[in-house]
Chains A and B, each alone.
Chain A
Amino acid sequence: DTEVTQTPKHLVMGMTNKKSLKCEQHMGHRAMYWYKQKAKKPPELMFVYSYEKLSINESVPSRFSPECPNSSLLNLHLHALQPEDSALYLCASSQEGWGYGYTFGSGTRLTVV
């Protein structure tokens, strides 16, 4: 299996809702990432997990809460989001060490209404 699987593919949520994005990989990658991508912009790093521990948090608002239950799964819990949080949320994974590119999932397109 050489893929990163993200669910759901599309999500519409109200500003008072709580929802979760899910990401799964079975490539044995020990680094997993959440990126946010706005239209016509590059991906922006949100969180990095290394060996199931949060290693980088790019000053993301607390309404985004990541979780890594095990080495294959990564979740992003969403609560009280704002319309400006509407974007494509990409999960990625990579091998640890120098010179390994990311494998991205197909993303969740989130719309906050």
Chain B
Amino acid sequence: GENVEQHPSTLSVQEGDSAVIKCTYSDSASNYFPWYKQELGKRPQLIIDIRSNVGEKKDQRIAVTLNKTAKHFSLHITETQPEDSAVYFCAASNYGQNFVFGPGTRLSVLP
């Protein structure tokens, strides 16, 4: 089955700096890769996703890149703000339904 690794497990950045979180997956058949943000005590919320037929996707300060050959994808957050502090989970799936989540990255943005 699919296995998703995520690094780093914790990340601290100064406000205004960029943050990068990387995930690797094992199943070459996986073709959809969402990213979720979970604030303390709240639900995971989808922030950006990418399908395997696309190499990069951007939404304002957030971008995701995918390297299918190397089987890894990354989340990039630019101009970080304190409200970006949360746990971020990557996930991988093969034609939907069963998402396998990475272990999570705790991002702290220091003012």
Contacts and interface: CB of A to CB of B under 8 A. Distances in A.
Nearest to B50: A99
Contacts of B102: 42
Contacts of A48: 97-98
B96 A90 contact: no
B97 A31 contact: yes
Contacts of A100: 96
Interface string B85-106: 0000100000111110111100
A50 B96 CA distance: 11
A107 B96 contact: no
A43 B89 CA distance: 9
Interface residues of B, number: 21
B99 A102 contact: yes
Given A41-B103, A90-B43, A94-B96, A101 B49 contact: yes
Contact of A42 (B43, B49, B89, B97): B89
Interface in A68-99: 90, 94, 96-99
B52 to A, nearest CB: 9
Contacts of B78: none
A43 B87 CA distance: 12
B31 to A, nearest CB: 7
Interface in A42-84: 42-45, 48, 50, 55-56
> A45, A50, A105 — which one has the most chain B CB atoms within 10 A of its CB?
A45
A56 B96 CA distance: 12
B46 interface: yes
B45 A55 contact: no
24 contacts: A31-B96, A31-B97, A42-B104, A43-B44, A45-B99, A48-B97, A55-B97, A94-B96, A94-B97, A97-B95, A98-B32, A98-B51, A98-B95, A99-B96, A100-B96, A101-B34, A101-B36, A101-B46, A101-B49, A102-B34, A104-B45, A106-B42, A106-B43, A107-B43
Interface of A: 31, 40-45, 48, 50, 55-56, 90, 94, 96-107
